[in-house]
Amino acid sequence: MKVTLKDGSVREYTEAKSILDIAKDLSEGLARAACAGEVDGERVDLRTIVDKDCCVSILTFEDKGGKDAFRHTAAHIMAQAVKRLYPNAKLAIGPSIDDGFYYDIDSDEVLTSEDFPAIEAEMKKIVKENLLLERFELSREDAIRFFEEKDEHYKIELIRDLPEDAVISLYRQGDFTDLCAGPHLMSTKPVKAFKLMKIAGAYWRGNEKNKMLTRIYGTAYTKNADLEAYVAMLEEAKKRDHRKLGKELNLFMFSEEGPGFPFFLPKGMVLKNTLMQYWREIHEREGYVEIATPVMLNRHLWETSGHWDHYKENMYTTVIDDEDFAIKPMNCPGGMLVYKSQPHSYRELPLRLAEVGLVHRHEKSGALHGLMRVRCFSQDDAHIFMTPEQIRDEIKGVVRLISEVYQLFGFRYLIELSTRPEDSMGSDEDWEMATNGLREALEDMNLEYIVNEGDGAFYGPKIDFHLVDAIGRTWQCGTIQLDFQLPQRFGAEYIGADGEMHRPIMIHRVCFGSIERFIGILTEHFAGKFPTWLSPVQVKVLPISDKYSAYGHQVLKRLKEAGIRCEIDERAEKIGYKIREARNERVPYMLVVGQKEEENGLISVRSRFEGDEGQKELNDFIDTVKAEIGTRERKEEKAE
């Protein structure tokens, strides 16, 4: 049999082999690191036997599939530990998630984080026992009987909901057996670096009518050093939490009168407007024109766009004059109406319509999270209408623009190509052409990307940009979606060079994504210490005492005339206190003024970047800061 590997090379074998055997044939080191395998795109255990021609990938902890198998095994180890300590506890589900794993448990005894040390100690015993994980299959009747004997009614419900032809697999490790599709590690031994993180309530199957279960979250790594680094990152993330900083810096607020609907305060509006000023500057440079479309449009529009069928549960609806209306969850259908409002020629294309539109989406209350997950937000959309020949160049132009934006803020980013989902509309030919257009543009630019099968929008494939922030977390922000469907559904046309009517192709794209979410990400990325050009207050004037307030106001007036955002602190406090307060407010520059400064017409400068910079001429300082603001320089902070 011929086995094609991830790098395209082919290995030939005369007899069937397990994935682990193939890994050993490639490298003993690879076999030691292997967590799972992939055969023709399907994730499998290392124990899976390969007996025919196929494509095989060996998945380590560095791969998402390997990480999932590792952490899914950790979830089983935790469940086994819980059952040993609390035999009457009932188990629900326990999947791996992006940053670890969880297990939902129904226990008569109230479980709290104070129980974590005992559970972790039992988990260590299970790891030390080096229990083999054995996969086996049962018929539906036998599987139900098996879990009836164990009084695990959640497992029975899951089995009964499986399709009639489903393979029902279980995994056994020592005295513990769980219903599971896998894959898993070969044994419990490798899972040595783990930690239980938090506890929460979770309704069974996410339905608030069902019983509330106890959800225990944990994480696991192959090395203790990586686990410690992750825990340290979480501690740093707590300090950077945008909800905490947003309150401290008076940027935004939330109110119980509008859960999930953010209120921007004056300083937050300065930050938001400064971002948008930059956004408009670069979009004008790139040939975009800005439009605005209504927040509410009728049902017919959303039926035409496909949103009424594919997205209605996330939309807010109402009735006006006996007609159904919906508040827009997306800007694109309104953009289509603008395009169709007048005839177009191929000579006008590509036509780049930009819109920072306010959209509303219904999110469950439990999913709301500061600015990161809200119910209304401003989306920096653009819709580009073009000919088929312009696809590749337009995509490359958008990629360059998004890259420029992220580099300005110091973000690295990862690129993901998402393909056709199950719930999609359009022909196979259109989807293939759209997907190839995105792929070819990325390959033309020599950009690395990973493929996320089946995660495209319902109307087209997309490129997603995942930002990597200052402490290593990733955030999905920018996206480029290629759409053949909406122009067709709306009957959009242009007159071609041949004088005939043709259908344009449409790009949906965002740079920031949600402006609100991007502000949350920036707040955490910079820990509230925004670059000077973005800071709501760029300079704070600090008179040493009331006697020097008049001179302080002279300095303030000069700064304002130069277009620098500034404030003065005239409180009857000691200068040390004023400096500490300004530092807590993350102000980039503090100008201390007292007797010496007034007598010599100078200022004493303290900054986040150099600390005490000594006395300077005010004009020189203004010129320096204006240059920093004008170039949008991102200066390194001085270590505290």
Query: Catalytic positions, please?
Result: 332, 361, 379, 381, 383, 462, 508
Let me know: does 474 contact 466? Beta carbons within 8 Å.
yes
Which long-range contacts does 610-613 make (Cβ < 8 Å, 24+ apart)?
Answer: 610/638, 611/638
CA distance 150 to 90: 9
For residue 63, give both structure tokens. Answer: 């791969």
CA distance 84 to 123: 10
| Residues forming beta bridges with residue 486, ordered by sequence position | none
Q: Which residues of 402-431 are buried (b: 16+ CB within 10 A; e: fewer)?
A: bbebbebbebebebbbbbbeeebbbeeebb
**Residue 288, burial from CB neighbour count under 10 angstroms (0-12, 13-18, 19+):** buried
**Residue 536, burial from CB neighbour count under 10 angstroms (0-12, 13-18, 19+):** buried
> Across 389-514, where does the E strand assignment appear?
412-418, 450-452, 462-468, 474-483, 494-495, 501-502, 505-514
**For 538, left (φ over 0), alpha (ψ -120 to 50), or beta?**
alpha
Q: What is the residue whose two structure tokens read 């069974």?
A: 204
CA distance 79 to 123: 9
> Across 114-255, where does the E strand assignment appear?
134-138, 168-173, 176-179, 193-203, 212-221, 252-253
The Cα-based distances of 523 to 430, 526, 625 in angstroms read: 40, 6, 22
**Residue 100 CB neighbour total at 10 angstroms:** 20
| 3 state DSSP class of 496 | coil
For residue 589, give both structure tokens. Answer: 């520059």
| 3 state DSSP class of 529 | coil
Does a cis peptide bond (omega within 30 degrees of 0) precede residue 183? Answer: yes
**Residue 392, burial from CB neighbour count under 10 angstroms (0-12, 13-18, 19+):** middle
For residue 23, give both structure tokens. Answer: 């890994």
Let me know: does 455 contact 410? Beta carbons within 8 Å.
no
CA distance 512 to 355: 12
CA distance 178 to 90: 11
Let me know: does 467 contact 411? Beta carbons within 8 Å.
yes
